[in-house]
Structure 1
Amino acid sequence: MTAPAFGRATVVGAGLAGLSAAVRLRETGVAVTVADGAAQAGGRCRSYHDPQLGLVIDNGNHLVLSGNAAVARFRRTVGAPADTLTGPDEAAFAFADLASGARWTVRPNAGPIPWWLLAPSRRAPGSRARDYLALARLARARPDETIGDRLAPAGPAWERLLHPVLLAALNTDPAASSARLAWAVLRETVARGGRAMRPLVAQPTLAAAFVAPAVAWLAGRGAPVALGRRLRSLGFAGDRVTALHWADGAQPVAADEAVVLATPAPVAASLVPDLAAPTAFRAIVNAHFAVPPPPGAPPLLGLVNATAEWLFAFPDRVSVTVSAADRLLDTDREALARTFWAEICRAYGRDAPMPAWQIVKEKRATFAATPEQDAHRPAAATRWRNLFLAGDWTRTGLPATIEGALRSGETAARLVAN
């Protein structure tokens, strides 16, 4: 094995991008130090005990797909228990229209030849096979083109499947989102068939599925995560980072040491001179209700003609996710909870008083997945030879997803090692 280019590295940030970078670096024999300014690891994928609910919850609901290769690699490496990421045995996406009362399940076949498009019972009601085949137009999109430039954002297929799925993946109005980013998601999932499209949800929490196994794996290999350690600035000289100025003092950066900056985009932009980075962001609003879902409830239910967009059925709670939710940021929390609960009752066909609830608003959840913002995303390598970037906001070729975050960490680690 070739010796790594750097013998050691400091990873700043213990979100999934930073943890991914640290894990891959340790695999290549690089001595790693990981630090994060928060009280716990995980970044936006953190889990915590909420006293209002009396439950451990995730700050946001995150869905991955069975075709997400970096997710599989990461979990396999750190020994994450298989039962902490669960989903149906086949690709199935259940929906309910709260305006009409209609219900349907989209069920792609397992293989890459999409014969499911010829079966009306497997498609969104009222849609036609050619509505889905039109997605191939995204493959030829220019970097500056939106989905709306390549597709007609209307019709049964759009309203009952494509819009809700693309909105969740991009966290941006799909019609205004980057066609190339949308195609990157579709190419790795839909184009590969149902085996790559099974929806998987962390059980019981994101911490159990991703964060805790990684932190334990690193600690067992001499790279414990230091929490509550905030980086205030970087010192530069020539083509190198020469110092890390933490809140508790300065740390010189040795000649054989690399720095992987795995912080959110605004933080990285404040630390690195003239860094090109996304400047527009979209919110996500999540709601959690301390009540078990009714028997037979699907683990994931998409809602049409509702404020809530997706319902996640956990054993001890029902959770709601709304993407591109900037319009809801100023809405009263209890009013939101009552709106969501009324929709949950209609979706599940139940009538019950609202249980204990919690609303979590992430104002800057992801960068806006528009062509303009995608063009601002920087590469992992920088003009300083020992400084590398990681994060779902870097140039991963994917929108801001768990898969993209993990890949960014792999990329940064590969650059350090090579």
Structure 2
Amino acid sequence: MTHVHIIGGGLAGLSAAVDVIGRARVSVYEAGPACGGRARSYFDKALGARIDNGNHLLLSANKSTFRYLGLIGAEKTLTGPGAPIFPWFDLKANLGWTLSLSKGRVPFWAFSRRRRVPGMKLSELAMLGRILRAGPDQTVSEFLGDGMLTRRLLEPFAVSALNTPLESASATLLAAIIRETLVLGGSACRPWYPSEGLSESFVDPAVAHLRRLQGEVHCGTRISGLDVQGGRVTGLKNGSDTIAVGPEDKVVFAAPSPVARSLLEAHLPGFSAPDAYESIINVHYRLSAPVKARGMLAKVGFVGLVGGVAEWIYLKNDILSVTVSAANRYTTWDNDELIATIWSEIRQAVGPVLVESLPQAVPPVRLVCEKRATFAATPAQDRLRPQARTRLENLALAGDWTQTGFPSTIEGAIRSGTEAIKVLGL
């Protein structure tokens, strides 16, 4: 039986393993103590709670993600309102509203003052069509106007999707997201997120599934080099040991982009991969009791913010968890300043709709900064992304940094794992 060696236990590597486990022997080699990469959960001793290292909002359009969850039996671990509704709050205007998209492709929502973005004009929708026709060197900011649809929806949507300042972000990567979500209507835009944690939804069930089917998952196993002979990978270096790769065996390289650059350049002439990155900051505030909300926030469980530092607030039992995308712009801020500023935004945006008042003083908190959360989604970096197929006959690449046509997202990572298995002919 073919043995598939998968280097990297993030979602790309796990996706590849889950896809092929019924047709081949599978071994996953993860350098860290646990699988999941940048989409995992862990117990924070200082906070005294289990938290995610990041917050991820999925949409019903993410078909590869839902297929993956179905294969590992975890599709019921997500929660969401079951409808394409998104609460928002404009901090500068002190105004809250709910965007309620139409189910089909025709944007009937835009004609209803109760469902659309406050202050938007119908003519602003033409921006979406222009973005869909963007050229490969154009940036998002070239297409945005100065109206409320831009400020209160397209800008925060684009920053979250691309994790890159819009002055330098690729318009074609944004177009790829819009084409599979807003263009398809509300049925493709129903929001979902893990009801418990990222590991409980995406990682732990996958590892359990692989092991049930006799797959091997080796954590704490760092692949430090490749042996290459005759146009194929023949061995994987693990310290002073070598893992043999047989004549019929395949290799999926699903480690992060910096690791790929260090290990693959010597074996793949002309190899390139993204080398500029954007960070994401997540701040977790732990309260003394579970958070209870009223109205739309109680139904949805999250709210998007406009006009401040924080972008998304999630209600997770006794934790209020906040995401800040494209966070390189805050590198000069002191952590205490960021934490205090975001807490004031939380109190303004969600405080009035909670059953219990939020304390004025900052509660116990943990700030997590993923410095290399994603590659910078610029036209120049997008051109550096390699295809899954390589010049080595038994080696394929996977990862959200490969050329998936998507920015760096869970959906892109999972698609890349499936594509790697496909190009290997398995």
TM-score range, shorter chain: over 0.9
SS of 1:44 mapped into structure 2 = coil
| Structure 1 segments unaligned to the other structure (5+ residues) | 1-5
In the alignment, the residues of structure 1 paired with residue 53 and residue 216 of structure 2 have an alpha-carbon distance, to the nearest angstrom, of 23
Counterpart of 1:67 in structure 2 is 61
Who is 1:129 aligned against? 122
Offset of 1:368 from its aligned partner?
0.8
Distance 1:272 1:55 in 2: 39
Q: Secondary structure, in 3 states, of the residue corresponding to 2:418? A: helix
Q: Distance in 2 between matches of 1:355 and 1:236?
A: 54
| Equivalent of 2:212 in 210, 220, 223 | 220
Give the whole-Å Cα distance in 2 for the aligned partners of 1:224 and 1:354: 44
- Listed one character per residue, the Cα deviations across residues 262-318 of structure 1 (whole Å, up to 9, x for unaligned) are 011011111002421011110100000112334223412111121111111112211
Identical counterparts, % of pairs: 43
Does structure 1 residue 207 correspond to structure 2 residue 199? yes
Query: Could you say what the CA RMSD is over the residues aligned between the two structures, in angstroms?
Result: 1.4
Please tell me the residue identity of whatever aligns with 1:154: D
Report the 3-state secondary structure (helix = DSSP H, G, I; strand = E; otherwise coil) of the residue aligned with 2:314: strand
Is the 2:82–2:191 contact (alpha carbons within 8 Å) kept by the matching residues of 1?
no
1:22 corresponds to = 17
Distance, in Å, in 1 between the alignment partners of 2:40 and 2:394 is: 29
How big is the shift at 1:363? 0.6
Residue range with higher mean Cα deviation, 322-331 or 53-62: 322-331
1:303 aligned residue = 305
**SS of corresponding position for 1:400:** coil
My pick for the range that moved more, 190-199 or 242-251, is: 242-251
Q: Counterpart in 2 of 1:3?
A: none
Q: Which residue does 2:367 correspond to in 1?
A: 359
Moved more, 176-185 or 341-350: 341-350
1:91/1:107 contact within 8 Å kept: yes
Number of positions where the alignment pairs a residue of Structure 1 with one of Structure 2: 410
Q: CA deviation at 1:67?
A: 1.2
Q: Which letter does structure 2 place at the counterpart of 1:35?
A: Y
Q: CA deviation at 1:42?
A: 0.3
Quote the residue 2:354 is aligned against: none
Worse-matched range after superposition: 368-377 or 151-160? 151-160
* Residues 157-205 of structure 1: per-residue CA shift (max 9 Å, x gap): 1110110011100001224211111111111111111111011111110
Q: Does the CA contact (< 8 Å) of 1:283 and 1:324 recur in 2?
A: yes
Q: Secondary structure at the match of 2:138?
A: coil
User: Residue type matched to 2:210 in 1?
Assistant: L
1:314 correspondence with 2:329: no
Q: Please give the secondary structure, in 1, of the residue aligned with 2:242.
A: strand
Counterpart in 2 of 1:241?
A: 233
Q: CA deviation at 1:330?
A: 4.3
Paired residue for 1:386? 394
**Contact 1:285 1:328 (C-alpha < 8 Å) held by counterparts:** no
Q: Supply the distance in 1 between the matched residues of 2:145 and 2:260 (Cα, whole angstroms).
A: 35
- Cα distance between partner residues in 2 of 1:228 and 1:154: 50
Q: Distance in 2 between matches of 1:99 and 1:289?
A: 23
Displacement of 1:63 after TM fit? Answer: 1.0
C-alpha distance in 1, partners of 2:264/2:75?
37
Aligned counterpart in structure 2 of residue 293 of structure 1, from 284, 291, 302: 291
Q: 1:111 to 1:396 in 2, by over 3 A?
A: same
Change (3 A) 1:81 1:54: farther
Please report the TM-score for the alignment, with normalisation by the length of structure 1. 0.95
- Report the counterpart of residue 45 of structure 2 in structure 1: 51
Aligned amino acid, residue 334 of structure 2: D
Structure 1 stretch 377-386 or stretch 166-175: which is displaced more? 166-175
Corresponding position of 2:156:
164
CA contact (8 A) 2:280 2:327 kept: yes
Aligned equivalents of 1:373, 1:302: Cα separation in 2: 28
2:257 to 253, 265, 286: 265
Following superposition, the deviation at residue 344 of structure 1 comes to 0.9
- Report SS of the residue matched to 2:51: strand
C-alpha separation in 1, matches of 2:11 and 2:407:
15
| Other-structure match for 1:76 | 70
**Structure 1 contact 109–194 (Cα < 8 Å) conserved:** yes
**Post-superposition offset of 1:211:** 0.6
User: Which amino acid in structure 2 is aligned with residue 343 of structure 1?
Assistant: E
Distance 2:93 2:131 in 1: 31
